[in-house]
Amino acid sequence: MITVGLSGGIGSGKTLIAHIFATLGISVFYADEAVKALYDADTGLRHTLIDLLGGDIYKDGHLQRKRMASLIFANDTLMQKVNALTHPKVMLQFEQWAQQQPSPYVVLEAAILFESGSDKKMDYTIAVTAPEPLRITRAMQRDNATEQEVKNRMKQQWNDEQRNGKANFIIMNDNEQAVLPQVITVHQHILKTL
Ligand code: ATP
């Protein structure tokens, strides 16, 4: 199965772009959703997270995501530890899922695709990019967050330049260039290589 990794910084619009691939009939695996499901479903992971972040990180069996965010977004080492715990599990799920998909190729949407090195496992990679002020505004509106909160999260991620330097394709989602034709161009390019 041909695999295509799709990533982008906070507020770049990678989920929106992933949805466009889905409307073209391409199966999309949403890694960040899969991680959220794992937090509550994987008992081993729960115990490790409690050891790492404290007992109050779970309440009634559910991860307290705001609490975790406030701890790990302020601490690079903790963030890396949590990613190192969850990312391999999610990649395994993705690989098993990919084998069962009927579409000509599959898309993996993941916030830390490049940071984690998982881009190297993909046949193609796409970076979704947008000017930083626009990304900040989008994320503030969507999450009802402050500018500082969004900037703190951005600091933990690679910047657009780093991602764009590694990606096979770049999709510009700046509210000026239409994204649909860009997605269709990438889609057709990949289909031609099959
Ligand atoms: P995160 O990593 O923070 O989850 P993301 O890259 O997945 O972000 P989206 O959730 O797709 O980004 O987009 C962020 C917000 O901006 C959403 O509310 C989305 O609807 C909006 N948005 C994204 N692209 C556009 C666009 N081209 N036009 C209008 N709104 C957009």
What are the tens digits of pLDDT across the range 19-35? 999 999 999 999 999 99
| CATH code of domain 2-41+90-192 | 3.40.50.300
Q: Is the CB of 137 under 6 A from ligand 1?
A: no
Band of pLDDT at residue 130, cut at 50, 70 and 90: very high
With a cut of 90, say whether residue 91 has pLDDT above it: yes
Report the 3 state secondary structure along the chain. CEEEEEEECCCCCHHHHHHHHHHCCCEEEEHHHHHHHHHHHCHHHHHHHHHHHCHHHEECCEECHHHHHHHHCCCHHHHHHHHHHHHHHHHHHHHHHHHCCCCCEEEEECCCCCCCCHHHHCCEEEEEECCHHHHHHHHHHHHCCCHHHHHHHHHCCCCHHHHHHHCCEEEECCCCCCHHHHHHHHHHHHHHCC
**What pLDDT score does 75 carry?**
87
Tens of pLDDT, residue by residue over 141-182, are 999 999 998 998 898 899 999 999 999 999 999 999 999 999
pTM, to two decimals: 0.94
The residue among 89, 107, 92 whose CA lies nearest residue 2 is: 107
Determine the atom of ligand 1 nearest the C-alpha atom of 17: 11
**What pLDDT score does 153 carry?**
87
- Cα-only R_g, the chain: 17
**What pLDDT score does 156 carry?**
85
With a cut of 90, say whether residue 73 has pLDDT above it: no
**What pLDDT score does 74 carry?**
82
Token pair of 28, please?
Answer: 């999309």
Q: Is the CB of 152 under 6 A from ligand 1?
A: no
Q: Is the CB of 177 under 6 A from ligand 1?
A: no
Mean pLDDT taken over the chain: 96
User: 29 has which bridge partners?
Assistant: 108
Residues 87-98 have a mean pLDDT of: 96
- Nearest residue (CA) to ligand 1, atom 23: 13
Q: Is the CB of 173 under 6 A from ligand 1?
A: yes
Q: Is the CB of 15 under 6 A from ligand 1?
A: yes
For the chain, what are the domain ranges?
2-41+90-192
With a cut of 90, say whether residue 114 has pLDDT above it: yes
8-state DSSP, 8:
E
